[in-house]
Structure formats: structure tokens, C-alpha cells
Amino acid sequence: MESYALLLAATLNAGTVLAIAALGLLINEKAGVVNLGAEGMMLCAALAGFATVVHSGSDWLGFAAGMGAGALLAALFGVLVIWLNTNQYATGLALSLFGLGFSAFAGIGYVQAKLPERVQHHIPWLGDIPWLGPALFRQHPLVYATMLFCAALIWWLYRTRAGLVLRSVGESPESAHALGYPVRRIRLLAVVTGGALCGLSGAYLSVVYTPLWVEGMVAGKGWIALALTTFATWRPSRALLGAYLFGGVTMLQFHLQSVGVDVPSQWMTMLPYLATILVLALISRNPAWIRINKPASLGRPFHPGA
Amino acid sequence: MLELKLEARPQPSRFWSYGSPLLALALTTALGAVLFALLGKNPVQGLLVFFWEPVKSGYALGELMVKATPLLLIALGLAVCFRSNVWNIGAEGQFIIGAVFASGMALLADRDTGRWIVPLILLAGVAGGMVWAGLTAVLRDRFNANEILVSLMLVYVADMVLNYLVYGPWKDPMGYNFPQTKTFELVTQIPRLMPGSRVSIGLLLALLGAGALWLFLFRTRAGLAQQVGGLAPAAARYAGFSSRRALWTALLVSGAAAGLAGALEVAGPIGQLTPYVPAGYGFAAIIVAFVGRLHPVAMVFSAVLLSMFYIGGELAQSRLGLPKSITGVFQGLLLFTLLACDTLINYRLRRSAGSH
């Protein structure tokens, strides 16, 4: 029983990494921009966050540094894609390749570095409840903040004027432009927000979840987060649930090993990637279902003033 | 206030479609010099390591070709994909499985095996790459799954397959517990072109491939059909060209090319299967393809350029004490600057006074 509580706790923790990134990517996809650079932004942010904590000793400064790194790279991507009209796929790919190379290069001195002692989080009273305490109430504050953020995002996207404007920019940039909204500026803002959240996710990974820095440590989580937005048919609540589901799949390997299931570790490591392929295939099987839910101008450039 | 504005050209500029990669290379070089200076290294020395050392002797040129071979082969296949708007970015995985299949064949050889094993090793590599790319094709064709994400996820899966084999069933029992297969029999070695250099017939195969791709793209109806689907799906349907056929052709061709590259690598310079077989060629080849404008001849040059980056990175490590991963920084910068410079193909920069 106790091991299931730990599995649930680990699932929430792993799911949070994916959830933060997926919600960020969902915001810029709602505005019509696909950023395949998620993996590269997360890697650079993981390094920036880790290095900042090593030098400053403050986790929160580390998160801020990660967000800054993600936002900066996303801004570069955004200017290229939105103002210079470069291909979104190719540019995102360039960002991922650059981020992989740059973080490996710049991070070489941090591979052996150690963080200050990690704090064990524990909500008073709730954390002491048998089973439920260790499963749910001994998490990092960002785990709960992510859930709150998801709720706030749902309200903002579907219940506020600003959310409506963001969605209209992704559905029909021409109409939004005709109504006088600065489509390109809104898209850039959405891309930078998405980058900042991918950055926070990367920093959470290297500062809280792992916590260490190794070359290529994001290991495809940026790509899985991208897949999650499709899996969620661009709805925040489903993205959050999907992230926990994938967090669970990631953690399953450790759980199965601890209960003595004898499968080579490599097959276990494959699980999240295979699961991503599987859910993509299942969710995309019906093209009409995707077409209805997808922001109509996703991936399409917008040229104003024509 | 004076500001720069982009103005659409009436038609794409031919000059800039060839000038943009050169401008991008110049910008990358300049940024590289700045990077060296920031790291406290002499920029001239740094750039010499990247652009002069790899070409200064016969042996160095040979090593340049050894690395250019897989890059060119993979990029040729990717060009077919990108020209037909199929976003296969998982060539690295197809390369790995090609290497795995080829290794399986090479491990069958013993002392009495003849040289006939070499073509079988190459064919096994081709088959491996096609199987792996075929998975992406099935998922795209039957399930409409996004090929970008699927092909990329399959890279991680391929890496785990490779790791499983070298840590498990294929581990050399006499190998002091290192995760690698035994060294392949000498008879499996891909024939080399000349003594004193590691350049193999793989280079010839890659150049032949470039010629074949040129013929296919520009001189056959099938090559036309392949590309029209990517440019204008409606026109392709009207002309009776099948988009499913184009999808399968693109993925199988690029899988075959990447798998062949993997086979040439394990049975060539490496000579055994190890976890270090994947060297990122599958990703670097994406840059080769874009920088070479998806054109078979131009990609020969861009493959050599990216090979220079690989060798420059290794030399930067041994000569300048910089991490080898500087290669990845240069690769990323080149693709970024290229995409930015490509804007000049369709737009011109105009200065305009004030805002209106």
C-alpha cells in the first residue's frame, strides 16, 4: 500500500514537469503558433536554473532564471517566425538543435556540481494523514501551483475578453486584424509566455525533480509536451490530466522494478515514448475530431496589411 | 524615426536563394569568432581549427569525407521527404536501426565467411532503416498521426533497442563487461578506397545517390509527382498523383538511405556496435538538407561543411580545450541564420521613414 502512495506522489511530481511545459505550449498554439523548440528551451532553461541555484543558493531565483532563458529563446523564435515569416517547423527544429548543442557546451562545468541540500516539503497536518499525506501533501509548492494555474488558464481562456482575443488570433488572424487587434504582437506575447513556462518546466526538472544537470537531460520531455497538446485537443484540463498520465507511465518503470518485475530497464525506459506514439495514433485516428478542436490557423503564418 | 521594413518581392529572388546559405555561413563564422573571443580564445586560431585544419592534408581530407558520407546519404533521403512536405525528423532513429540490422548480419560472419557478406550487411542496414521509417509511414497513413512527433519518439525507442542489445544479448562475453558487441570479423569491413585513409566505398555510394536523386527529382515523372503533392496537394490530386504513395516513397527512401549510412558506419570506421554509434548525424543531416537547398549537388557541399563542424569540434577539444559539443552550437547557429537569411528570398529590406 505504502508503495502506491509513493508511486502517486512520484507521478504528480513527474507529471508537473510535463504539465507546466504542455500548458505553456498550449497557450502559444491557441494563438496559432507551433514551437517545436520546446526541447531546446527546456534544456537551456534547465541549465540556467541549475547554474543559478548553484551560485545563488535560491531555488526561486533558479526558476526565474529558467523562465528568463525560455522566454529569451522563445522571443528569438517568435521574431523569426512572426516577423520574418520563417517556416515554423524548421525554426522550432533549429531552436531544439541549438538548445541541445548550446546547453551541452555551456553546461560542461556543471555536470558534477551539487545543489544546496534539498528541502523536504510537507504541508502541516495534511501531510501527516496516513497514506494520503505521503501521496498528495508532501509535494513541492509548484505542483499545487501548476494545478491552480491550469484552473486560472481555463477561466482566462474561456471567460475573459483577453482569452477570447488570444483564441481568435489562433482561429482567424484575418478577422482579429480587421477588428484592430495587433495580431503579431499578441502572437509574440503568447510565444514568449509559452517559452517562459517551458523554461520553468526545465528549471523544475533540474532543480527539483532530478535534481542535477547532465547533457541532454530533458530526454524528449519537450517533445512529449508538444504531443500532449494534440492529445488534449488543445484543452488545458486534458493537458493537465495527460501530463499526470504520462508522469505515471514514466514512474511505472521504477515501481515495477521495486516490486521485482524482471524486465530489462531499456524496455521500461521506452514506455513513455511508445505511449506517446500510441496516444497520438489513437487521438488522431479520426481527422475530423482533430480538425474541429485544433486552432484553425495553427502553423500558418499571418501577413497583415495585404 | 527611421525603421527597416520588409517588402514582398514580386517573385522569389534567385540570387538570394543561393546567396542566403553563404551569408548564413558568414554570419555563423562571425558569431563563432565572437564566441571564441568571449571564451578567451584567439578567434583566428579557433576559426582555423574549424575551417583550415580539416582540409590541410590528405589524411585530414580523408577524415572529412568519412564524416561527410553519412551526412550526405541521410540528407539525400531527407531531401525527398522535405520536398514532398513529409517532416521526417527521425533519421537518427532510422540510422540506429540500420546499424543494428547491419550488426546482426555482421555478427553472423565467422572465419570462413566470404566477402559476399559485405553487400548483405549493407542490405540489412537498408532494410532496418526502411522498417523503422515504415513505422512512421504506417502511423501517418493509417492513423493520421503527426510524423514529426512519431519519427522523433522513435529515435528514443531506437536508442533503447540499441542499448538493450549491447547491454544484453549481444554483449561481448570477452569484452570486460563493456556494453558493446565483439569486434566484427575483418571480412565484414566495408572496402576502403585507398590505403592510408579510412574513406570507404560508402563515399562513392553517397555520390552515386546524389546523382540518382538528381535524375529522379528533375528527369522522371515519378519525381515530379513526388514533389507536386508537397507544393500543391489539390493540383496533385487533380493530376492523379497519390499523396499516400508520395508519403510512403519519401519515408522508405529516407529510411533506406539512413539505414545504409548506419550500416556503413558500424561495418566501416567503428567495426562493432556500441552505445556511441549514434553521433547525431541524423539531426545534422537535417541542416545539411536545408543548407543545401534540398538540391542533390548543393547538398554534397553542405555535407562537407557540416563534416567540418564535426571535425572542428573534435579538434577544438584537443587543441583549445573547449568541449566537443561546440559542434552543436555551430550547427544550430547555422540553421538559425540560414532561416533568417532566407527571408531575403521572398522579401527585400526597405528603409521607411516614420510609422504610418
- ipTM score here? 0.94
Quick one: pLDDT band at residue B186, thresholds 50, 70, 90? very high
Mean local confidence (pLDDT), A144-165 = 97
Of B144, B326, B331, Cβ closest to residue A284: B144
Mean local confidence (pLDDT), A283-291 = 88
Q: What is the model's pLDDT at position B185? A: 93
Mean local confidence (pLDDT), B211-218 = 96
| Residue B223 reports pLDDT greater than 80 | yes
| Residue A31 reports pLDDT greater than 70 | yes
Mean local confidence (pLDDT), B246-260 = 97
Q: Which residues of A touch B157 (CB under 8 A)?
A: 270, 273-274
- Judged by a CB distance cut-off of 8 A, whether residue B352 touches chain A is no
Residue A287 Cα, gap to closest chain B Cα (Å): 7
Residues B145-165: tens digit of each pLDDT: 999 999 999 999 999 999 999
Mean local confidence (pLDDT), B154-182 = 94
Mean local confidence (pLDDT), A11-16 = 96
| Residue A306 reports pLDDT greater than 50 | no
Count of CB contacts below 8 A, A vs B? 142
Residue A71 Cα, gap to closest chain B Cα (Å): 17
- Return the minimum-mean-pLDDT range out of A90-99, B236-245, B305-314: B236-245
Q: What is the model's pLDDT at position B2? A: 53
Q: What is the model's pLDDT at position A258? A: 78
Cα B324 to Cα B313: distance, rounded to the nearest angstrom: 5
More confident call, A205 vs B242: A205
Residue of B nearest to A271 (CA): B157
Of A86, A100, A270, Cβ closest to residue B343: A86
- Return the minimum-mean-pLDDT range out of B146-160, B226-240, B289-303, B309-323: B226-240
Q: Which residues of A touch B350 (CB under 8 A)?
A: none
Mean local confidence (pLDDT), B261-286 = 96
Residue of A nearest to B143 (CA): A285
Best mutation target, A273, A290, A298, to test chain B (most B CBs within 10 A): A273
Inspect the interface and report whether the beta carbons of A220 and B6 lie closer than 8 Å. Answer: no
The dihedral built from the CA positions of residue A292, A294, A297 and A301, taken in this order, carries a sign that is: negative
Mean local confidence (pLDDT), A27-31 = 97
Topology of domain A2-110+134-293, CATH: ABC transporter involved in vitamin B12 uptake, BtuC (1.10.3470)
Q: What is the model's pLDDT at position B196? A: 82
| Residue A93 reports pLDDT greater than 60 | yes
Mean local confidence (pLDDT), B3-23 = 85
Tell me the whole-structure pTM to 2 decimals: 0.94
Inspect the interface and report whether the beta carbons of B157 and A83 lie closer than 8 Å. Answer: no
How is chain A split into domains, by residue range? 2-110+134-293
Q: What is the model's pLDDT at position B3? A: 64
Inspect the interface and report whether the beta carbons of A101 and B323 lie closer than 8 Å. Answer: no
Q: Which residues of B touch A104 (CB under 8 A)?
A: 323, 325, 328
Number of H helices, E strands in chain B: 13, 2
| Residues within 8 A of A (CB atoms), B 285-304 only | 286-287, 290
- Judged by a CB distance cut-off of 8 A, whether residue B6 touches chain A is yes
Quick one: pLDDT band at residue A305, thresholds 50, 70, 90? low
Residue of B nearest to A291 (CA): B144
Q: What mean pLDDT, rounded, does chain B reach?
A: 92
Mean local confidence (pLDDT), B202-210 = 97
Nearest to B147 by CA among B225, B81, B194: B81
CA distances from A243 to A196, A238, B149 (A): 18, 8, 16
Inspect the interface and report whether the beta carbons of B87 and A84 lie closer than 8 Å. Answer: no
Residues A264-285: tens digit of each pLDDT: 889 999 999 999 999 999 999 9
Q: What is the model's pLDDT at position B355? A: 46
- Judged by a CB distance cut-off of 8 A, whether residue B11 touches chain A is no
More confident call, A287 vs B231: A287
Inspect the interface and report whether the beta carbons of B335 and A90 lie closer than 8 Å. Answer: yes
Q: What mean pLDDT, rounded, does chain A reach?
A: 93
| Residues within 8 A of A (CB atoms), B 136-195 only | 139, 143-146, 148-150, 152-154, 156-157, 160-161, 163-164, 167-168
CA distances from A301 to A82, A306, B212, B232 (A): 7, 13, 35, 17
Q: What is the model's pLDDT at position B356? A: 44
Cell 565484414 belongs to: B188
